[in-house]
C-alpha cells in the first residue's frame, strides 16, 4: 500500500527534526566559545586588579560617554577609566 502525500511529508519532517536533534552544538555556543562565564570573568578581573563599581549617572552624561565609546571604537570600561583619570588629575 502506498503512502499518502501528507504522510510522506510528515516523515520528511520527522527525519529532519531528528537530524537537528542529533547534530552537536556548534563551537560558537559550546566549549569553543571565547567568552568566559561570569565566575571566570570575575576571577580574571580580580587578577587584573579590577574592582566592580556601580553608580547612577544622568542620562545626558551617559549618552555622551556612549558616544565617545562609539567614536573611540573601545569598550565602556576603558573609556570611563580614561575619563576618571583625566578628571582626577585636573584637580
Averaged pLDDT for residues 28-37: 66
**Total-model pTM:** 0.53
Domain coverage including residue 40:
5-90
Mean pLDDT of the chain: 86
pLDDT, residue 66, reads 93
Mean pLDDT of the region 42-70: 91
What is the arithmetic mean of pLDDT over 40-61? 90
Query: Region 8-20: what's the mean pLDDT?
Result: 89
Four-residue CA torsion sign, 76, 81, 86, 88: positive
Between 65 and 37, residue with greater pLDDT: 65
The C-alpha cell at 89 is: 588629575
What are the angstrom distances between the C-alpha of 70 and each of 21, 63, 77, 82? 40, 11, 13, 15
Domain count, the chain: 1
**Spatial distance between the Cα atoms of 80 and 33, rounded to a whole number of angstroms:** 27
Amino acid at each position: 500500500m502506498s503512502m499518502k502525500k501528507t504522510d510522506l511529508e510528515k516523515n520528511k519532517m520527522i527525519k529532519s527534526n531528528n537530524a537537528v536533534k542529533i547534530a552537536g552544538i556548534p563551537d560558537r555556543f559550546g566549549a569553543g566559545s571565547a567568552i568566559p562565564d561570569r565566575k571566570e570573568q570575575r576571577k580574571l578581573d580580580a587578577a587584573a586588579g579590577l574592582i566592580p563599581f556601580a553608580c547612577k549617572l544622568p542620562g545626558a552624561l551617559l549618552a555622551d560617554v556612549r558616544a565617545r565609546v562609539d567614536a573611540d571604537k573601545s569598550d565602556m570600561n576603558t573609556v570611563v577609566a580614561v575619563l576618571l583619570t583625566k578628571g582626577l588629575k585636573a584637580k
